[in-house]
Amino acid sequence: MLISAIIFISLALVFYTAGVWGEKLTGRLKWVFLILFWLGFIMDSTGTALMSEMAGANQFNIHSLTGAAAIILMLFHAIWATYVLLKKQERLIVSFHKFSLVVWFVWLIPYLSGLFMNM
């Protein structure tokens, strides 16, 4: 189960990073980036669920707190990006990357803390 969790969390890093930085580099929120955001969220949620199952429900530390915050923020980010694209709000489409970068940096905190805590 540990290997599966690591694979899911690693895929989350790949998908989410590709979506956030692809959006930043092109200067526009696009459907392909939205798909990558959702894939990153799904992979992270799956990996986190597997890790939580292995660790037990009583784990309460900075890693679990930042991890929960990051998942909630990723979900909000993906929902908001979906809304922006569906509404075709050009002003938000070209500035959305600012929010994406903040969410990505917040997401890196539990990713890196989990990586370092378990090395």
Per-residue pLDDT tens digits for 74-85? 999 999 999 999
Contacts of residue 98, Cβ cutoff 8 Å, sequence gap at least 6 = none
| Residue 43 CA: distances (Å) to CA of 10, 22, 33, 57, 109 | 8, 18, 15, 20, 17
Q: What DSSP element (H or E) covers 53?
A: helix 31-55
User: pLDDT tens digit string along 13-30?
Assistant: 999 999 999 999 999 999
Contacts of residue 46, Cβ cutoff 8 Å, sequence gap at least 6 = 8
User: pLDDT tens digit string along 87-97?
Assistant: 999 999 999 99
Is residue 55's pLDDT more than 80?
no
| Residue 93 CA: distances (Å) to CA of 21, 31, 79 | 14, 11, 14
Residue 28 has phi, psi (to 5 degrees) of -145, 140
Is residue 100's pLDDT more than 60?
yes
Question: Are 44 and 71 spatial neighbours (Cβ–Cβ below 8 Å)?
Answer: yes
At 7 the pLDDT is 94
Say what percent of the chain tops pLDDT 90. Answer: 70
Longest Cα separation, the chain: 45
At 58 the pLDDT is 64
Average pLDDT over every residue of 44-57: 83
At 60 the pLDDT is 73
At 79 the pLDDT is 98
